[in-house]
Structure 1
Amino acid sequence: MTQTGETWQQREAARKDVAREARDLPREPASWGPRLAIAVATLAWLTTLVWLVATLPERVPTHWSGSTVPDDWSSRGTALAMSVLLPLALAYPMVWLSRLALVWPDGINVPHKQWWLERPRRLVRFERLVREDLVLLVAATVGLLTAVDVQIGIAAHRPGGETPGWSVPVLLGTYLLLVGLVVGRMVVGRRYRPREDDAELA
């Protein structure tokens, strides 16, 4: 029993009712910032693919192990296939995880989650906030994969397939910084705080 006299079974049933009602409501459109970020990342990825198709030789360096000299090479076809499949398989599907907020809301953990689960309209807003954050993470991931493709494309035309020693630390460091900013905003920022001043959600 809770302090309000509600059992966990009653609380769980109430959450299911809220989620069921929320699924019947229209989804809120994402704000322009995340949409712009993923549009820019996607355009950069597609442009890089076109460049790779036009310029990659038959033998391509695809892995560097702690040095500027590659330790693994692939065929042109394999390198192009990985450039296409990695974003499609690893990055873009993450956006769909926001649907868990409406199907299995307890499966998503953010600050003040209980407040967001109390009303259908709140849950719809919650799904939009999660979706926007996931879109930003997808944009950062696609950006990283695209930057790696650019590195491969440049190294493929260098003697021995060498790449600058600073490239991997800079690319990985930038990616981790972007991911940290998004996650930090989710965890410690004001983004998921209760919106008692919003009449639609209060």
Structure 2
Amino acid sequence: MTHDTPPSPGPSDPYADALRAGRGRSWLPLLAAALLNLGLIVAAWLALPGLPDRIPTHWGPDGRPDAWEDTSLGSLALGPLISLGTCAVMALTIPLVRMGAGQPTAAGAHGPAEPNPWRRFQTEGTARGTTVLVGVVMLLVSLLTVPTTLTVLGGGDGALPWWVMPLGATLVLGGTLLAMGPIVAWQQRAMRARAAEAGVRPTPEDEAEDARWTAAGLMKDPEDSRVMVPKRPGYGVGTTVNVGSRGGRALVVGFFALIAVALPAVLWIAAFSAR
């Protein structure tokens, strides 16, 4: 009678614990958004018996309701239900994105075929920053449902102050663009400090490569005249903008002006005019 020899364990990863430590904290903003929506849904369910037969379900830019439906949990808590579902989708999507970002990259694509220890910490910081950013965006979007839900629960005509809707849109659109770089950079700095504690230091090549990119994943290489370039490994697939080129800077400024300035301005003007 023979016995199979158990396989010997592979070499342990000396950086696994450092890379995992504190990872759960990056999910707190998304958890807060989910709990906020869940709380609104519960409040709507408890208040349902005392509400009139029809309630407002849509508001114009000036905060006045312009559509009504028969009272039900779905019509009362439609916004929180959609936001809670979106939080669930994001919670499922983020691990898939993290798995894709962690795959080895092809040699020559501005990164080694196998990530070195420094790059692993940098990629972990990027993944955590992206998780925090998604949570912050979902929290901002979820906050938009608070005034409309509470005004219906409170009875009355359901009207909101004229500035509520444009202010909410400004916070979501402008806040997302303004927070993107700082949030990811914050998490990358934290992982660089953790890498130093683990004895991992960047090589001159790593430092040169880091200098070519912003925390938000945009290239900043003035020696490259291309406007659109392949994304940095760890930031997904596809292309991104090279803000080191004149055309890239113009593209980013124009996009920011449209999303964070022009669109909110239109909403503010429409709401002020209709008040």
1:12-27 equivalences in 2 (<5 Å): none
Bigger relative contact order (CA 8 A; separation at least 6): 1
Show CA shifts across 1:166-196 (max 9, x none).
1112222222343123313268x47558959
Specify which structure has the higher proportion of helix: 1
Distance 1:159 1:146 in 2: 21
2:74 aligned residue: 78
1:44, distance to aligned residue in structure 2 (A):
2.6
Question: What is the root-mean-square deviation in Å for CA atoms of aligned residues?
Answer: 3.9
Distance 2:192 2:139 in 1: 32
Aligned to 2:64, which of 66, 69, 76?
A: 69
Asked if 2 retains the 8 angstrom alpha-carbon contact of 1:35 and 1:135, the reply is yes
Closer/same/farther in 2, CA of residues 66 and 182 from structure 1, 3 Å limit: closer
Show CA shifts across 1:109-131 (max 9, x none).
xxxx9448741653475145324
Task: Output the amino acid matched with 1:172.
Answer: A
Segments of 5+ residues of structure 2 without an aligned counterpart are: 1-12, 104-108, 203-275
Closer/same/farther in 2, CA of residues 89 and 45 from structure 1, 3 Å limit: closer
- Structure with higher Rg: it is 2
What secondary structure, in the 3-state scheme, does the structure 2 residue paired with 1:162 have? coil
Distance 2:183 2:116 in 1: 21
1:7-156 equivalences in 2 (<5 Å): 28-30=20-22, 34-56=26-48, 57=51, 58-74=53-69, 75-80=71-76, 82-95=78-91, 96-103=93-100, 114-115=110-111, 118-119=114-115, 121=117, 122-123=119-120, 126-127=123-124, 129-155=126-152
Distance 1:63 1:160 in 2: 12
Distance 1:67 1:28 in 2: 47
What secondary structure, in the 3-state scheme, does the structure 1 residue paired with 2:169 have? helix
Task: Output the amino acid matched with 2:55.
Answer: V
Task: Output the amino acid matched with 1:171.
Answer: G
Asked if 1 retains the 8 angstrom alpha-carbon contact of 2:62 and 2:162, the reply is yes
Asked if 2 retains the 8 angstrom alpha-carbon contact of 1:144 and 1:175, the reply is yes
Closer/same/farther in 2, CA of residues 114 and 62 from structure 1, 3 Å limit: farther
Distance 1:169 1:73 in 2: 21
Identity within the alignment, %: 20
Task: Output the amino acid matched with 1:184.
Answer: G
Segments of 5+ residues of structure 1 without an aligned counterpart are: 1-21, 107-112
1:38, distance to aligned residue in structure 2 (A):
3.3
Paired positions, count: 172
Alignment partner of 1:163 is 2:155: no
Task: Output the amino acid matched with 1:72.
Answer: A
TM-score where L is the length of structure 1: 0.61
TM-score where L is the length of structure 2: 0.48
